Amino acid sequence: MSRTTLDLWVGVFVAMGIAALLFLALKVASISGSDIRSPYTLSARFDNIGGLKVRAPVKSAGVLVGRVTEIRYDNEHFQAEVVFSVDGRYKFPTDTFANILTSGLLGEQYLGLDPGGEEKALAPGDVIKKTQSAVVLEKLISQFMFNKAADGEQAPAK
Amino acid sequence: MGDVFRKLGSLAISGVWQLGFIARFFVLILRYSGQSFMRLHLTIRELYFSGVLSLLIILVSGLFVGLVLGLQGYEILQRYGSSEAMGTMVALSLLRELGPVVAGLLFASRAGSAVTAEIGLMKVTEQLKAMDMMAVNPIARVVAPRFWGGVVSMPLLAALFSTMGIFGGWLIGVVFIGVDDGAFWSQMRAAVDFRYDVLNGVFKSAVFGVAVALIAVFEGYDCVPTAEGVSRAITRTVVSSALAILALDFVMTSFMFRGL
């Protein structure tokens, strides 16, 4: 085989390989870094984070606005401290409420931000004070059972 | 009793010796790579033989693996009423594991064995010695181009394998079964992360490329220069490449995907 045809085939092969990589990068995958532009970090303390994980989405009104970057245990307050980065285009008021929510019944957990009515916006590095922990199914069920039991005690007295 | 220990000892010594020899051989290849890149057409020729000629088997197997993944994935997912997650399942299993591993295994048996046979036969017919006599370095002239040909082709072939597999999954899911096209792609995009899934897969396939290419050229260069020796060397190339790929895959997976 002559050298030019060989070069041509190798060129076609390499181009196909690169095209496949581009397809995987652009069509199949989403680049996690690119949809969050010039991020700033905020943090929030929770009594219980449930199954929240690093890289979990941060959403406000259902729209992705950031990602959880770090989760650590705060030994002073005996709480979980969740650090997350938020897209620089979005500002949230200082009385924003942070909840840990679940997408779907058994879906992944994410951090939901409910903005309040305050004029001042949260600055980078701020800590969100108002938080609501993840719903733990066991607690919910035990509460339900407790209420049922209490109802049961009242019923015969009637 | 002493016999057993003697056998174990000789096994250990020859194992360590082999490992050291491979490592030194690897360093030699790297050292003479610059010299072999001066004549780039040698490497391009090897890219043709290892890469372009492996294209057909890689593309066809990728397509079939994707088709099977699509069928099996649909079978299980539709029980939970989430057949739209098929795209996610096909893409993740291909990008993380099946793409690099199966492409690596195919590459080892298609291209690695050919390289071993070629170098082994050169050794049997004393071409390597003749090159040495003519002051042509056989590592720079013969070994390094074949090594780099394998290292460069492997990630490209694995990417093509994954792409064909995803296409196969799409074919089964969207075209034949009738899963919604938009849901198929958007769920896939939502679940597949570029750095975490795609780049880790590419990294895996690059490591497999180095391992397979190194084993192939080493076994060829190290073979006993007889007809039987060459055939044994080819067998060893395929067997140890497969073992190396699977073992390295386990090690890399346990470091890369720990569920954070």
3 state SS of B194: helix
Q: Do A32 and B195 touch (CB under 8 A)?
A: yes
In the prediction, which pLDDT does B62 show? Answer: 95
Region B171-196: mean pLDDT is 86
DSSP secondary structure, chain A, as one string: --HHHHHHHHHHHHHHHHHHHHHIIIII-B-TTTTS-S-EEEEEEES--TT--TT-EEEETTEEEEEEEEEEEETTTTEEEEEEEE-TT---BTT-EEEEEESTTTS-EEEEEE--S-SSBPPTT-EE-EEEPPPPHHHHHHHHHHHHHHHHHHHHH-
Mutate to test the interface with A, among B154, B156, B162 (most CBs of A within 10 A): B156
Which residue in A has a C-alpha nearest to residue B164's C-alpha?
Answer: A20
pLDDT in tens, A29-38: 776 555 677 8
Mutate to test the interface with B, among A4, A9, A10, A64 (most CBs of B within 10 A): A10
In the prediction, which pLDDT does A143 show? Answer: 87
In the prediction, which pLDDT does A155 show? Answer: 60
Q: What does each C-alpha distance from B26 to A76, A116, B103, B134, B225 come to in angstroms?
A: 53, 62, 23, 23, 21
Q: Do B194 and A30 touch (CB under 8 A)?
A: yes
Region B155-171: mean pLDDT is 94
Nearest to B260 among A12, A29, A53 (CB): A53
Q: What residues in A contact B166, CB-CB < 8 Å?
A: 24, 28
Region B194-211: mean pLDDT is 92
When pLDDT is cut at 50, 70 and 90, the band that residue A105 belongs to is low
In the prediction, which pLDDT does B130 show? Answer: 93
Euclidean distance between CA atoms B232 and B212, whole angstroms: 17
Nearest to B192 among A12, A18, A29 (CB): A29
The most confident of A74-83, B84-93, B147-156, B179-188, by mean pLDDT: B147-156
Asked if ipTM goes beyond 0.90, one says no
Region B111-115: mean pLDDT is 94
Pairing assessment for the beta strands A109-114 and A57-60 based on DSSP bridges: parallel
In the prediction, which pLDDT does A51 show? Answer: 81
Instruction: Parse chain A into domains and list their residue ranges.
Output: 1-30, 40-137
Euclidean distance between CA atoms B154 and B225, whole angstroms: 28
The most confident of A32-41, A148-157, B202-211, by mean pLDDT: B202-211
In the prediction, which pLDDT does B259 show? Answer: 58
Q: Do B188 and A7 touch (CB under 8 A)?
A: no
- In angstroms and rounded to an integer, the radius of gyration of the C-alpha atoms of chain B is 21
pLDDT in tens, B1-12: 789 999 999 999
Interface of B with A (CB under 8 A): 41, 44-45, 47-48, 51-52, 55, 91, 95, 153, 155-157, 159-160, 162-163, 166, 185, 188-190, 192-198, 202, 259-260
Region B197-202: mean pLDDT is 91
Whether B163 shows a pLDDT value over 90: the answer reads: yes
Higher pLDDT, B97 or A105: B97
When pLDDT is cut at 50, 70 and 90, the band that residue B114 belongs to is very high
In the prediction, which pLDDT does B149 show? Answer: 93
Q: Do A54 and B51 touch (CB under 8 A)?
A: no
In the prediction, which pLDDT does B101 show? Answer: 96
Average pLDDT of chain B to the nearest whole number = 91
Question: Buried (b) or exposed (e) across B161-178, using 16+ Cβ within 10 A?
Answer: bbbbbbbbbbebbbeeee
- Residue B199 buriedness (CB in 10 A; 0-12 / 13-18 / 19+): middle
Whether A50 shows a pLDDT value over 90: the answer reads: no
Higher pLDDT, A109 or B232: B232
Q: What residues in A contact B260, CB-CB < 8 Å?
A: 53-55
pLDDT in tens, B230-256: 999 999 999 999 999 999 999 999 988
Tell me which amino acid residue B162 is.
S
In the prediction, which pLDDT does B99 show? Answer: 94
pLDDT in tens, B68-110: 999 999 989 888 888 888 888 999 999 999 999 999 999 999 9
Nearest to B48 among A10, A16, A32 (CB): A10
- In angstroms and rounded to an integer, the radius of gyration of the C-alpha atoms of chain A is 24
- Give Cβ neighbours of residue B137 (< 8 Å, ≥ 6 apart): B32, B35, B131
Helix (H) or strand (E) holding B173: none
CB atoms within 10 A of CB B84: 17
Please tell me the total number of residues recorded for chain B in this structure: 260
Q: What is the dihedral of CA B120, B121, B125, B128, to 10 degrees?
A: -50
Tell me the shortest Cα–Cα distance from A138 to chain B, in angstroms: 23
